[in-house]
Amino acid sequence: MKRRQFLKAAGAGLATSAAVAAPAIAQSAPTLKWRMTTSWPKSLDTLYGAADLMCKAVSEATDGKFQIQCFAAGEIVPGLQALDAVQNGTVECSHTASYYYFGKDPTFALGTSVPFGPNTRLNQGWYTLGGGREVLNEFYKKYNAVSLLAGNTTCQMGGWFRKEIKTVDDLKGLKFRIAGIAGRVLQKLGVVPQQIAAGDIYPALEKGTIDAAEWVGPYDDEKLGLYKVAPYYYYPGWWEGGSMLFAYVNLDKWNALPKSYQAILEQAAHYANTWMIAKYDELNPAALRKLLAGGAKLTGYSPAIMEACFKTSKDVHAEISGQNASYKKVYDSMMQYTNQGYQWFQVAELGYDSFMIRHSRG
């Protein structure tokens, strides 16, 4: 057979196989309609926005065959029950922070953030390549859920206070909206921790039901208007150096998905994660300037407060690890990765960032 005739014959064969294969592939992809409940109000276009972005990406990647409808906190279940709704099958998936479920088991706190733990980069590296995903999903399996990394708030701020906090003694008796292990750490220093959903923080501060509250950072905090009722704005949020957010998927629903849909879900979650980090990096600088112009009083926690919180955090981690094997396994994995990472960051990242920060103030 001459070369031209061979190519024509091969092309005809490929065309025929494509005509047969394409419908078969399309027919093998099921049509699914899922619901995602979130822990966020729609007004928080970083947190809720990332969840909504993930849902849209799944639909676009499957030509609409796999659709996930995104719901704000309270539309299906309250914001702090998002994981419960996944566990019991009320919804197929959720977008939330794992430390909201600290009351079920302290190990939940480690998924999102831990006092004096990883920063954003190290949290991402640990979860993605450092064994974090495996140890966390082994734990989440007990709650009929699997996690997909779907957001990171970057390093958060240290909260809004109705009065100045200068010494460790100033913490005593303070009613502070704060979640997870950080609440337990501060409790040992005299704070009365409160867990309150985003939409309820402002009225609680306004009425004096609480004295202080932490949320995320300048952009989201400005949207909640916290500076109007608690003007003292502290940093850093030592309990949230780089908080991961998850899309939890009901384990039975996850296992029933075709591998292609699992891959699409995972990649859509990664897209939401990258987008959220970029969004906060873009918006926080301008939002902080706006807050300061509006009367917010920016100040750092004193070295004495930071050291007292660090020491107490170590005690709390050791205490929980001694009582909870799951916590110890996840925490040890995280901190081994984190400590090695910070040693590297000191070599290059810290020196470079410190130099550039000094020269960015001109």
CA pair distance 318, 324, nearest whole angstrom: 10
pLDDT of 144 over the 90 cut? yes
Same domain, 178 and 99: no
**Are 90 and 82 contacting, i.e. CB atoms less than 8 angstroms apart?**
no
Tell whether 182 is covered by a domain.
Answer: yes
| CA dist., res. 40 & res. 246, Å (int) | 13
Model confidence over 172-225: pLDDT tens digits?
999 999 978 999 999 999 999 998 877 889 999 999 999 999 999 999 999 889
- The percentage of residues in the chain with a pLDDT greater than 90, rounded to a whole number, is 88
Q: What backbone phi and psi angles, to 5 degrees, belong to 131?
A: 95, -5
146 and 270 together in one domain? yes
Nearest-CA neighbor of 95 among 42, 47, 34? 47
Is residue 17 pLDDT above 50, yes or no?
no
Say which residue, 66 or 17, is predicted with more confidence: 66
Are residue 181 and residue 43 in the same domain, yes or no?
no
Q: pLDDT confidence of 26, banded at 50, 70, 90?
A: low
| Same domain for 264 and 118 | yes
pLDDT given for residue 197 in this prediction: 77
Mean of the per-residue pLDDT values of the chain: 92
CATH number at residue 123: 3.40.190.170
Among 282, 313, 343, the domain boundary falls at 282
194 and 295 housed in the same domain: yes
Name residues whose C-beta falls within 8 Å of residue 323's C-beta, 6 or more positions apart in sequence: none
Within-domain flag for 215: yes
Judge whether residue 258 has pLDDT over 80: yes
Co-location of 205 and 275 in the same domain: no
3-state secondary structure of 150: strand
Nearest to 217, CA basis, from 234, 201, 200, 194: 234
Residue 20 maps to a domain: no
Residue with the bigger pLDDT between 331 and 362: it is 331
Q: Are residues 230 and 264 in the same domain?
A: no
Q: Can you give the residue range of the structural domain that contains 185?
A: 159-240+286-324
173: left (phi over 0), alpha (psi -120 to 50) or beta: left
**Looking at the predicted structure, is the pLDDT value of residue 318 above 90?**
yes
Six token digits for residue 99: 């430390």
pLDDT band of residue 27 (cuts 50, 70, 90) is: low
Are residues 117 and 180 in contact, defined by beta-carbon separation less than 8 angstroms? no
The model carries a pTM of 0.88
The phi and psi torsions of 19 (rounded to 5 degrees) equal -65, -35
Looking at the structure, do residues 126 and 230 belong to the same domain, yes or no? no
Is 247 in the same domain as 227? no
Model pLDDT for residues 101-130, shown as the tens digit of each residue = 999 999 999 999 999 999 999 999 999 999
If one counts the domains in the chain, the total is 2
Structural domain contains residue 81 = yes
Q: What is the CATH number of the domain that holds 176?
A: 3.40.190.10
What band does 3 get if pLDDT is binned at 50, 70 and 90? very low
Rounded to 5 degrees, φ, ψ at 168 are: -60, -35
